[in-house]
Amino acid sequence: MTQDVSATVTHVAADGRHGFSKPTREVIRLIAGEGVEGDAHRGVTVKHRSRVRADPTQPNLRQVHLIHGELHDELAAQGFDVAPGVMGENVTTRGIDLLALPRGTLLRFGAEAVVEVTGLRNPCRQLDDFQAGLLRAVLDRAEDGSLIRKAGIMGIVLSGGMIRPGDSIAVTLPPEPHERLDRV
């Protein structure tokens, strides 16, 4: 089922180095089964350094990192100096509740690129190395006491293509029952 949302891409970013932040670009190219061309996290198997140490053969479920621009607004209101790409995301969106999407949701960017949502980004202490208190600011508690991770979602590339700021995002939900996102 395709949802009718007016979601757009506001920024795209990539970096070939394993650093914290990624510089924004005019365009990024997604490669099916691998991720963002020229990005350090591109690959069929996991590229996140801690996960490589644990098991370098595990599949890369973190090929593309997306953050909702509304999180930047929330953090700025709390006094943090954040901007697109600074928390390592490849795609910054607006107008879509990324954290509420179920696992397996398909996101179509523009005419070609399709990303399947695999799970939540698990924020780490590098956020505090960037700005003190940022890690705590991207974590919250639900009414039932469960942890809410707000630092974005991760996905794999099903169909390659270019993504640019201003591109529309079409959302196709998987068949029910929906599976809530968990960290990947």
What is the mean pLDDT of the segment spanning 129-150? 95
pLDDT over threshold 90, residue 5: no
pLDDT over threshold 80, residue 2: no
Token pair of 131 as six digits: 């700005």
- Residues 6+ away with beta carbon under 8 Å from 184: 61, 62, 118, 119, 120, 121, 122, 154
What is the mean pLDDT of the segment spanning 93-110? 97
pLDDT over threshold 80, residue 178: yes
Token pair of 73 as six digits: 């607004």
pLDDT over threshold 80, residue 53: yes
* C-alpha dihedral (105, 164, 97, 174), degrees to nearest 10: -10
pLDDT score of 3: 60
Range list of H helices, 13-84:
49-54, 69-77
135-138 own/partner pairs: CB under 8 Å, 24+ apart:
137/75, 137/78, 137/80, 138/71, 138/75
**CB-based contact 56:45 (threshold 8 Å):** yes
In the chain, the domains with their CATH numbers are: 2-104+120-168 (2.40.33.20)
**Confidence label for 6 from pLDDT (cuts 50, 70 and 90):** confident
DSSP string for residues in 68-132: EHHHHHHHHHTT----TTTTS-SEEEESS-GGGPPTT-EEEETTTEEEEEEEE----THHHHHST
Mean of the per-residue pLDDT values of the chain: 95
How far apart, in whole angstroms, are the C-alpha atoms of residue 18 and residue 39? 9
**CB-based contact 34:14 (threshold 8 Å):** no
- Position 180: which residue type? R
pLDDT over threshold 90, residue 52: no
